[in-house]
A and B are shown apart, each in its own frame.
Chain A
Amino acid sequence: MSCEKNRTSISLPEPRQGDAVDLSVHRGTLLTSRSTGGAVGRTSVNFVPQVGLPCGPLPPFPLLRVVLQEVPRTWTEVSQGSKGVEREREMEDFWTGALWALKIWLYLIVCLIMFPAMFGFSLGISETYMTILFKTLEWATVKIQKANTEERTLNASTSNSLIQRGGGSMEKEFEELRLTRPKPPVGGDFTLSDSFYFTRRGIESIIEDEVTQRFTSEELVSWNLLTRTNNDFQYISLRLTLVYGLGIFVRYCILAPLRITLACIGLSWLVIGTSTVGLLPNSRIKSWLSEWVHVMCYRICARGLSATIHYHNRENKPQKGGICVANHTSPIDIVILCNDGCYAMVGQIHGGLMGVIQRAMVRSCPHVWFERAEMKDRHLVTNRLKDHVNDKRKLPILIFPEGTCVNNTSVMMFKKGSFEIGATIYPVAIKYDPKFGDAFWNSSKYSMVSYLLRMMTSWALVCNVWYLPAMYQQAGEDAVQFANRVKSAIAHQGGLVDLQWDGGLKRAKVKEAFKEQQQKKYSSMVVGDDSSSSNSD
């Protein structure tokens, strides 16, 4: 292939009489003129030059430059306009200008965002952005509230509940029920009125149940100028609408491309960096380098999401040889936690892009990846985790015991598997601030890609991470109780509701055993206190 970008010449047929010919071959563009009843115009003809492609693998930026220089060339050749030369020059200027702007853009990103991110210091740009954002949202809130003063909007009370539940337990309520009923002379202690209690409880569950609402996004007290959180948009004032429109422009045209670029850079750097480090022989330098590479990439990704993270109680950070457990809201939790330390991940090997990343990561430091079939075998999983934990040189394991994404208002049942290993548990609580963007991944509603795009077009991601003191399994405590204890600690710290329900209920049904508990309790009440009913006839 020719690597030259030549001007090529062509030969034309002899001009006929009457034609005024004005030929110039200018960068491959053939211009000719045709006489049309005396007037001389200029038209350009379709002509594609023999331009060779650049040879050999080139680093990305020069390739970009070359590609961008070829685009205007082919473009101008293909166009068919009069005044070809001037137009072509304009286009050229335009494309040079665009190229120049792109160069500036990239250099800016690298200097202002990447380098600080890589080395962990901050230039204060994001802080300024956050302050402006905060002030704007506050102003918007005040405006909306002023417009709604005469309305009794539903107060987002801390309990987040709609209806007042019957206070007493089943036993107490039944006592009350029976007071107003004449005691039968003989036989069973049951009447139709008993069903009132269950009917009411049933209707209460239909209106509001604790589980289903945990899998939808949290409701905001006031609108945060994002379309997606607005349920019924009322026109309140011109200024507010303008700010909202400006917000859309800023988010989609400025912030989103920036973030996507950063995310791509971050991920590709992760793959390249870890593979490179993986080539080194095992030594202390290797582990130090791999930690550095990992943290750098996660920092870039975090900047890519405009994430502001506040870490609390860093003296309790997880140590090597332990297990770190946290509540799960979205896949971004990993980026959030790994910004501040290095962890070993646990999970299933995926195909595609995820698989590439996973395989690259495992080259530089040991993570625990399972094949799909291996995940079913609990003993295998437990043993591998035990081995990892017992090797004190290996990084702490990061596990999300809920097993699924919950909407950050509550913590659901922790699966006991990770608590059976017998290692030190370091609980971590993560709480996102919903004002700036909703981080919850509703996997039944959005795919991973559309979720990430939504993340990149929200205002920012603000979250608090609390490191809790290490916990150990106490004597006489089984894994389930230990798990519940850890769960309560996390819920308490993060200000979340502590639920006993299993996160798996997102997709599966309630277990039969659980259902029968309620029935057993009731039947013991009816039968237990009336022994004569067992004499049947």
Chain B
Amino acid sequence: MGALQSLHGRPEYLDLAEKTGFSFEQIRVLHERFKQLSHNEETLRRSHFNEIPDLACNPIRAQIIEAFFDRRNYHQNGEGTVEEIGFEEFLVVMSHFRPPSLHMTEEQRENVRREKLRFVFNMHDTDNDGTITLEEYRHVVEELLSRSGALEKETAKSIADAAMLEVASISMGHMEPDEFYEGITFEHFLKLLDGFEIESRMNIRFLNMDTSTLCK
């Protein structure tokens, strides 16, 4: 059917559409949202994210926000963090949550899945060393469980330890008594979540706009 949507004078969307796979309509909508969040400035900062009330109730908001500023998610093999992002980076991070299109080969599907899992992995591996250590894991558990005192520190710690043990047993098989488990590497992570239906858990469906993906 061809490209039947007029661009309304926005040629830069063409670039972004190719890079991220969003349709023009979706990019336009997300651009509106970007402008709304950044109060019409060119770049977004962490403080802008902190103003969203819905997000403030989310226990792992810190990691989610960090994910936007993490260079590893920009598909450019970068490292480290930035202080502010433009619309392009915003869109690239959002594209991790794009629903998979209907016509995809098995290999493409596998790539998409890997990408999404990489995103989540990066979110938890805060010191960027390629593994999720026990410390980082404990941190995640503490964030997710209440810090207000409904759960004691000991309980949270023990839950984290138990979960870590489970991971170790799945990935390493049998361990010697004095062997120390370094941390979850990305490969272990993949193995852990093998068979897990991530496609349905980690995507955002846009209303009224999916029809455009059908006309390819």
CB <8 Å contact, A206 and B52: yes
Tell me, yes or no, whether A378 is within 8 Å of chain B by CB: no
Alpha-carbon distance between A63 and B1 when the two chains are bound, in angstroms: 73
Alpha-carbon distance between A516 and B209 when the two chains are bound, in angstroms: 35
Please encode chain B, from 24 to 51, with 1 for each CB lying within 8 Å of some chain A CB and 0 for all others: 0100011001001100000000000111
CB <8 Å contact, B61 and A187: no
CB <8 Å contact, B64 and A199: yes
CB <8 Å contact, B159 and A533: yes
Q: A518 to nearest B CB, angstroms?
A: 5
Alpha-carbon distance between A533 and B159 when the two chains are bound, in angstroms: 6
Alpha-carbon distance between A501 and B52 when the two chains are bound, in angstroms: 12
Alpha-carbon distance between A216 and B32 when the two chains are bound, in angstroms: 12
Pick the residue among A163, A522, A523 that contacts B204 (CB under 8 A).
Answer: A163
Interface window among B75-83, B104-112, B141-149, B175-183: B141-149
Please encode chain A, from 507 to 537, with 1 for each CB lying within 8 Å of some chain B CB and 0 for all others: 0011000111111101110110000011111
Tell me, yes or no, whether B14 is within 8 Å of chain A by CB: no
Total contacting residues, chain A, CB less than 8 A: 67
Q: B165 to nearest A CB, angstroms?
A: 7
Please encode chain B, from 195 to 208, with 1 for each CB lying within 8 Å of some chain A CB and 0 for all others: 11110011111111
Residues of A within 8 A of B57 (CB): 510, 514-515, 517-518
Tell me, yes or no, whether B16 is within 8 Å of chain A by CB: no
A536-B158 contact in complex given A207-B204, A518-B57, A518-B59, C-beta closer than 8 Å = yes
Residues of B within 8 A of A186 (CB): 162
Alpha-carbon distance between A206 and B49 when the two chains are bound, in angstroms: 8
Measured CB to CB, the nearest residue on chain B to A521 is B146
Residues of B within 8 A of A516 (CB): 146-148
CB <8 Å contact, A190 and B163: yes
Tell me, yes or no, whether A313 is within 8 Å of chain B by CB: no
Residues of B within 8 A of A177 (CB): 201
Residues of B within 8 A of A232 (CB): 8-9
Tell me, yes or no, whether A2 is within 8 Å of chain B by CB: no
Q: Which residues of A contact B (CB under 8 A)?
A: 150-152, 154-155, 157, 161-164, 177, 180-181, 184-213, 216, 232, 234, 501, 505, 509-510, 514-520, 522-524, 526-527, 533-537
Given A187-B162, A192-B193, A199-B202: 5 more A-B contacts, CB < 8 Å: A188-B158, A190-B141, A198-B64, A519-B147, A533-B159
- 13 interchain pairs (CB within 8 A)? A151-B4, A152-B25, A163-B204, A184-B162, A187-B159, A192-B163, A206-B49, A207-B204, A211-B52, A212-B53, A216-B36, A520-B146, A522-B146
What are the 6 closest A-B residue pairs judged by CB atoms, nearest first?
A187-B162, A188-B159, A205-B54, A536-B158, A202-B64, A523-B145
